[in-house]
Amino acid sequence: MTDKEEADMAGQTPLVGIIMGSKSDLEVMKECAAQLEELGVPYELVVASAHRQPAKVHEWAAGAADRGIRVIVAAAGKAAHLGGVVAAYTPLPVVTVPMKTSDLGGLDSLLSMVQMPTGVPVACVAINGAKNAAILATQILGTAMPEYRARIEEYKAAMADA
Ligand code: RP5
């Protein structure tokens, strides 16, 4: 991205909302933010735990669609309920990122995320798959916004050339 594109993006309405359960998730989730920046997608980022700050999660998720957010990326670890709780409060698609954990290696996070009950789906990328979450979110935007479809086509072409 050029400096001008970056400056423009700073003033744009976020299209992707990134939420994570703890500041300790930020190191991994920076990769998601960086990939969105590379693809030119405006985003917002918030730390809010489904267990420790349920009211904050509720307020953020319930208002996301009306703020202009089109896709949510939710990252959490251990008993990772954040993505499912967010999905309960929004009509938007939710892409979840299971965090690698010290006790169970992230399998706990993964299973907590993918085993959602019928009626409340979330998509789920790999353990610590922050970058893929950004790409998938951009692909979802691209179904209705041609400029993001074009960014993904460029990204794939560059990958094939590498
Ligand atoms: C989850 O518990 C967070 O998403 C994080 O991955 C994990 C550990 O959180 P901290 O104890 O590091 O705050 O809620």
Residue minimizing CA distance to atom 7 of ligand 1: 77
Q: Which domains does the chain have, with CATH numbers?
A: 4-161 (3.40.50.1970)
**pLDDT of the residue at 12:** 87
Can you read off the two tokens belonging to residue 22?
């703890």
* Distance separating alpha carbons of residues 86 and 92, to the nearest angstrom: 9
When pLDDT is averaged across residues 97-116 and rounded to a whole number, the result is 98
pLDDT tens digit sequence for 120-153: 999 999 999 999 999 999 999 999 999 999 999 9
Task: Provide residues with CB under 6 Å of ligand 1.
Answer: 21-22, 24-25, 49, 76-78, 99
Residue closest to 17 by CA, chosen among 55, 87, 66, 70: 70
Of ligand 1's atoms, which has the minimum distance to the CA of residue 76? 4
Residue minimizing CA distance to atom 1 of ligand 1: 77
**pTM for the whole structure:** 0.93
Residue minimizing CA distance to atom 12 of ligand 1: 24
Q: Is the pLDDT of residue 106 over 50?
A: yes
pLDDT tens digit sequence for 70-99: 999 999 999 999 999 999 999 999 999 999
**pLDDT of the residue at 162:** 86
52 C-alpha to ligand 1 centroid (Å)? 10
pLDDT tens digit sequence for 4-59: 444 445 568 999 999 999 999 999 999 999 999 999 999 999 999 999 999 999 99
Residue closest to 60 by CA, chosen among 30, 92, 102, 24: 92
How far the first Cα of the chain sits from its last, in Å, is 19
Q: Is the pLDDT of residue 2 over 50?
A: no
Read off φ and ψ for residue 19, nearest 5 degrees.
Answer: -125, 140
